[in-house]
Structure 1
Amino acid sequence: MLAPVSSSPVALIIIDMQQGMRRMPAESRNNPQAEATILRLLSAWRAAGQTVVHVRHMSLTPGSPFWPGQDGAEFQPELQPLPGEHVQEKNVPDVFTHSQLERWLRVRGIQRIVITGVSTNNSVEACARSAGNLGFDTLVVADGCYAYAKTDFDGVPRSAQEVHAMALANLHGEYAQVIGSEVALALLA
C-alpha cells in the first residue's frame, strides 16, 4: 500500500487532454470514463493544494490537429489549466525530452508523480519510462488513461483494451507502479 502524501508534494501530470483527441473515433478506444476520472483527480489535487502539470502536445507536422494555432491543440474545456498551474508543451511523445520538466519538478521538491492522460501506449508510456529512469516515484492511473486499437508488428489487429493492458504491463514494476484512481485519491488523505 502506498503511503499518503502528508507533507511531501505530489504532482498530477495530465498528458495531452486536448480537443484534437475528441476527433478520434470513440469506438476505437477504451476507458470511455477516463476524462471523468481525470477530472475527479484534478479536482482532488486542486482541493488538496497539490501540484498539477498540464502537458500539451504541439505538433511539428503542418496540418496536424495539434499544430500550434489549431483548435485541436487547445485543452479540453473541462480540463483547462487554472492560473498558477504549470503547462508543459512538448512536440515528441516524452514530455521529459527537450524540456525542463525534470528540473521544474526537482526545484519544487517533487519526487512522486501521478500520470494520467492519452494515449497509454504512446505519451503516457514514454513519460512514465523517463520518469522512472530519472528516479521519480512514478504512478500511472490505469483508469485515468486510454489507448486506441492498433495493429501489432505481426499484422494482428489488437483492441484498444489489449493495447492499453500491454502498455501498462510494460510499465508496472519496471518503470512505475500502475494503480487505480481510488488508490491515487487515497494518496491525498
Structure 2
Amino acid sequence: MSLDPNAALIVIDMQKGFADPGWGPRNNPDCESNVERLLESWAASARPVVLVRHDSVEESPLNPNHPGNALMDFVAAAPHELFVRKDVNSAFFGEPDLSGWLDERGIQQIVICGIQTNMCVETTARMGGNLGYEVLVPIDATHTFDLEGPGGVRLSADELSRATAVNLHGGEFATVLSTDELLERA
C-alpha cells in the first residue's frame, strides 16, 4: 500500500494543556517528534493537512479560556488547509464539517495522529473507518495517559495504546503502523 497523492494528515489535539501534570503519567515521549516528522513530510509533498483542537466545555486545561487550549507551537506554525474545532472525541463532529471537506476534495485516505491515543485519535479513526475512509494510524505519533476504570482497575498508557492498536487494526477500522513505516510509503 502506498500513500495517495492527496492523503490527508489529521493532527488531533496537539495542545499545550496536555503538558499539565494533572493528566498523570503518559507514554511515548517520541510522539511530538514523530508528529513533526509527519507534518514536514506532508508539507514537502503538498498533501493536505487538517489541524484539530479540542475546545473543552468543562473546566480543564483544554478549555478555550485557558492558555493550554493553544496548539503546540510547532503544530500551530504548520501549513494546513483546514482547522477543526470540537468539544467531543471525534473530529467528525467538529466545525467545520471534516467529512464534507474530505469528500469535496475526493480524499479517501486519511492519516490520524495526535493526543490521546485511546480517546480522540481512536474515536476519530473508528468513525473514519465507518464512514468508508481508508484510515492509517502511526501509533508512535500518538500518546495517552494512565487511566482508571470501574472497580479501581487501572491501565497504563502503554497498555491503553496497545489496546487501541489492537482495536483499530484487528477490528479493521484502520491500518496501524509506525511513523517510519508510513513515511516509507510516502
CA distance in 2, matches of 1:140, 1:183: 11
Name the residue aligned to 1:152: 149
The structure 2 residue matched to 1:165, chosen from 162, 165, 185, is 162
Q: Structure 2 matches for 1:27-38, cutoff 5 A? A: 28-38=25-35
The structure 1 residue matched to 2:85, chosen from 78, 89, 96, is 89
Cα offsets for 1:66-114 (capped at 9, x unmatched): 2224211111011114455311010001111254100001111110000
Name the residue aligned to 2:2: 3
CA distance in 1, matches of 2:164, 2:151: 17
Name the residue aligned to 1:178: 176
> What amino acid maps onto 2:90 in structure 1?
D
Instruction: Please state which structure has a larger fraction of its residues in helix.
Output: 2
Name the residue aligned to 2:116: 119
How many percent identity over aligned positions? 38
Name the residue aligned to 1:66: 62
- Once superposed, what is the RMSD of the aligned Cα atoms? 1.7
SS where residue 172 of structure 1 aligns?
helix
Structure 1 residue runs without a partner (length 5+): none
1:18 and 2:15 are equivalent in the alignment: yes
Contact 1:4 1:186 in 2 (8 A): no
Per mean C-alpha deviation after superposition, the further-off stretch among 151-160 and 51-60 is 151-160
Cα offsets for 1:19-42 (capped at 9, x unmatched): 101113687111011000000110
Structure 2 residue runs without a partner (length 5+): none
Q: Normalising by structure 2, report the TM-score.
A: 0.92
CA distance in 1, matches of 2:81, 2:65: 21
Seen in structure 2, the aligned counterparts of structure 1 residues 4 and 56 have a Cα distance that, compared at 3 Å, is: closer
SS where residue 141 of structure 2 aligns?
strand
CA distance in 2, matches of 1:11, 1:141: 13
CA distance in 2, matches of 1:165, 1:105: 28
Q: Normalising by structure 1, report the TM-score.
A: 0.91
SS where residue 28 of structure 1 aligns?
coil
